[in-house]
Amino acid sequence: MHPAQVVASAFAFTILVGTALLMLPNARVGPDSATFMEALFTATSAVCVTGLTVVDTATYWTPFGQIVILALIQVGGFGIMTFASVIGLAVVRKLSLRSRINAAAEAKSVGLEDVKGLVVGVVKISLIIEAAVAVLLTIRFLFGYGEPFGRAVWLGVFHSVSSFNNAGFALFSDNMISYATDPWICLPICAAIILGGLGFPVIMQLRKHLRTPLKWTMNTRIVVAGTIVLLVFGSVYITALEWNNPNTLGPMDWQGKLLAGFFQSVQTRTAGFNSIDIGQMDSASLLGMDVLMLIGAGPAGTAGGIKITTFAVLFFILWAEVRGDVAVNVFGKRLSRAVHRQAITIVLLAVAVVITATAALMVMTDISLDALLFEAISAFGTVGLSTGITAGLPPAGQVILILLMFIGRLGPITFASALALRERRSTYELPKERPIIG
């Protein structure tokens, strides 16, 4: 099998296992088991670290069901091939060539030289960051809100894993609205989301060369710079538009407005927590968040979207074309033409998938375009923010969101490669000719 097919099959198999576990009678509160669609949607959302839900995570699932969801989030955040490689290293102390190829394909690695180091690094970074954030949240829930020790630990661990993996699942019926103005809850969650969104290669390099930016690769520079720019832009944009909205930021004091605006900007990095009611936000705010969610965060991490690097490559291609440059140069390096084609392919596939899904949802419902587009982009970008319409969609609409989450987690190119019957290699080239452009 092609590595892309292996990765896609592994994710699909894990989703089916999660679905079966969530359909067990002791996974749901009450006498009945969860329906197949409820279990499938929740398992897909957890494995694809999205956060969209059709039932209330806090009240619908038992502690066993919530543990299953947490495990699916963690495995999905690691990556199925990465998780399998960790098991292989623990059992036989080495990775086979096939395991390294599959893990490299999943992690978007450019070579096989240090796949073992990447796999081990992913696990170490994840556990260290999740543990640190879990401790901070546990302390706050314990002493700030008087939660019993066991409950405080569970809340801390669950939301730490959910935030670092950019999943957005919460154990509160109103998600994070009750803690919208509490920096001791919101800021640790934001920190975990931002770190998870940077991508594991970037975190590994920053750990070694944080104070020597000249040693950063082009990927690290683009991701760091892009993250800062998009976070600032998103915070200003959302806060300004929602400042006087009586249903969102309006009732808060200015400190609370700034915190909530920043928190929602961070969530567009592909984490689905919300500290304000998304369904009550202005349409202009939703449109801006659509753009931010589609861009997403860094590659080779827990985030979704087309990725900051893809968006940056398109920007630099545009900038070079407008200036009349022969080559596209980024941070003192020339960009490979193969990267041009890959970036354009990803964006066109992403736009095609989102538009097709939105059109299909419009045909089967009477819901407004802005809400359906927001939901589709949120699913494709594995974000998980919702205007509140997901649970009310017909089963066919929920299946569309499931497919969007699956494609978004794998990546459009990986998904397309997995569908290909064989890898085509041309042994000849045709003569060149160009049409009129523009």
The 3-class secondary structure across the chain, one letter per residue, is CCHHHHHHHHHHHHHHHHHHHHCCHHHECCCCCCCHHHHHHHHHHHHCCCCCCCCCHHHHECHHHHHHHHHHHHHHHHCHHHHHHHHHHHHHCCCCHHHHHHHHHHCCCCCCCCHHHHHHHHHHHHHHHHHHHHHHHHHHHHHHCCCCHHHHHHHHHHHHHHHHCCCCCCCCCCCCHHHCCCHHHHHHHHHHHHHHHHCHHHHHHHHHHCCCHHHCCHHHHHHHHHHHHHHHHHHHHHHHHHCCCCCCCCCCCHHHHHHHHHHHHHHCCCCCCCCCCHHHCCHHHHHHHHHHHHHCCCCCCCCCCCCHHHHHHHHHHHHHHHHCCCCCEECCEECCHHHHHHHHHHHHHHHHHHHHHHHHHHHHCCCCHHHHHHHHHHHHCCCCCCCCCHHHCCHHHHHHHHHHHHHHHHCHHHHHHHHCCCCCCCCCCCCCCCCCCC
Place of tokens 């860094």: 298
Question: What pLDDT is stored for residue 30 in this prediction?
Answer: 86
DSSP E strand boundaries for 60-108: none
Question: What pLDDT is stored for residue 200 in this prediction?
Answer: 82
Residue 137: inside a domain, yes or no? yes
Residue 352: inside a domain, yes or no? yes
Residue 304: inside a domain, yes or no? yes
Question: What residues have CB less than 8 Å from 240, skipping those under 6 apart?
Answer: none
Distance (Å, whole) CA 119 – CA 96: 13
Distance (Å, whole) CA 165 – CA 159: 10
Task: Give the residue numbers spanning the domain of 246.
Answer: 3-419
- For residue 203, give the H/E element and its range: helix 200-209
Residue 11: inside a domain, yes or no? yes
Distance (Å, whole) CA 197 – CA 434: 39
Question: What pLDDT is stored for residue 181 in this prediction?
Answer: 95
Q: For the chain, which ranges sit under pLDDT 70?
A: 1, 80-116, 416-425
Question: What pLDDT is stored for residue 92 in this prediction?
Answer: 55
Q: Is the pTM of this model over 0.85?
A: yes
Torsion of CA 52, 226, 414, 100, to 10 degrees: -110
Residue 378: inside a domain, yes or no? yes
For the chain, the first-to-last Cα distance in angstroms comes to: 41
Question: What pLDDT is stored for residue 149 in this prediction?
Answer: 96
Residue 380: inside a domain, yes or no? yes
Number of domains in the chain: 1
Residue 59: inside a domain, yes or no? yes
| Helical spans, DSSP H, in 365-436 | 369-380, 395-410, 412-419
Question: What pLDDT is stored for residue 76 in this prediction?
Answer: 87
**Cα dist. 105→3, 115, 312, 427 in Å?**
6, 10, 22, 25
Residue 433: inside a domain, yes or no? no
Residue type, 101: I
Distance (Å, whole) CA 231 – CA 267: 10
pLDDT 10s digits, 151-201: 999 999 999 999 999 999 999 999 999 999 999 999 999 999 999 899 888
Q: What are the φ and ψ backbone dihedral angles of 51, each rounded to 5 degrees? A: 110, -5
